[in-house]
Amino acid sequence: MARATIQDWTDSIVLLKFDQHRNVKYQVYREQDKHFLEVCDDTGSHIHTLELPDGMKLDRTSYEVLLRYVLLGLLAA
């Protein structure tokens, strides 16, 4: 099975802690039976790809919340 786009590249301003923010873009796609959230910075450089749990189908607002937690986790690491 080929790769299928669930949500094409979407620009987002993610609010972080202490009045910080980060401009990113993300996409959600399916490859075989797995779902992924891929995040790039605003220049297109890859930041992170997160495999979503089985059956996780979300709306755009939920992806934005998930994106914030991914970025906060990466900054804390």
Q: Could you give the number of structural domains in the chain?
A: 1
pTM of the model: 0.77
DSSP 68: H
Contact 16, 68 (CB under 8 A): yes
Contact 21, 13 (CB under 8 A): yes
Average pLDDT, the chain: 82
Q: Are strands 21-31 and 34-41 parallel, antiparallel or unpaired?
A: antiparallel
State both tokens at 10. Answer: 């979407």
Q: How many residues does the chain have?
A: 77
CA distance 12 to 41: 10
Domain range for 56: 3-76
Q: What is the pLDDT of residue 56?
A: 66
